[in-house]
Amino acid sequence: MARKAVDQELTKEKILETARDLFVLEGYQHVTMRQIAKLLGYSHGSLYYHFRNKGELFYSLVSKDFGLLNETLDDVLNKDIDTEAKVKGILLGYIEFGIRHPNHYRIMFLMQDDDLHSDFQQEPNLTYEKFASALHTLCGNKVTPMIIWSLFLSLHGFVVHYCGHPEQTYEDVKGMAESHVSFLMKGMQ
């Protein structure tokens, strides 16, 4: 196949975006490098220039997506606002990230495949540690590890519920998200 024009050059980003949608739709086991390449309009060999195999492609996707969530947490932590506003910002930021990026969230937290779990456990653990450490630092002894884990599970449940309704945007559920976070923060006092 002739090389495509420069404005249509195959990039890692294009591969990752196409692969994300396909992984969410078909599941990890049912996606092949050939399918991804076909959707992009390239030969499957061109994908191997960027990724050694499907596992490396998937791990790159997971790593990138957790990086975006970590940026969301960092943005809140770096704001010049009081402690309560930071805690609220962390909790709301998590919900907003998941609802604005449902396919990212599905890849990060909802993919069910035994082959995957051992390969990318580090990313979710590091992000959870960042989340837990931020809450512990901001709230001190008021929050125990059990409370932090309960907060995380509650946020996760909220996001999973709304990921199942892709027709709803974050703006549609923002009031409910704020109410949920307020309820959680009362439980931390």
Q: What is the pLDDT along the chain (189 residues), one digit of tens a residue?
A: 444 443 468 899 999 999 999 999 998 989 999 999 999 999 988 999 999 999 899 989 989 999 999 999 999 999 999 999 999 999 999 999 999 999 999 988 887 666 665 555 678 888 999 999 999 999 987 889 999 999 999 999 999 999 878 788 999 999 999 999 999 999 887
| One domain, residues 26 and 75 | no
For residue 10, the enclosing domain spans 1-51
| One domain, residues 25 and 78 | no
For position 163, which CATH number holds?
Answer: 1.10.357
pTM over 0.85: yes
For position 27, which CATH number holds?
Answer: 1.10.10.60
| Count of the separate structural domains present in the chain | 2
| One domain, residues 105 and 178 | yes
d(CA 18, CA 47): 12
d(CA 156, CA 95): 8
The values of phi and psi at residue 158, to 5°, are -60, -50
| One domain, residues 113 and 150 | yes
| One domain, residues 7 and 32 | yes
Boundary residue ending a domain (51, 69, 89):
51
Query: pLDDT digits over 66-97, tens only?
Result: 999 999 999 999 999 999 999 999 999 999 99
* Rounded alpha-carbon distances, angstroms, from residue 170 to 64, 109, 163: 21, 19, 10
> How much helix, strand and coil, in percent to the nearest 5, is found in the chain?
80, 0, 20
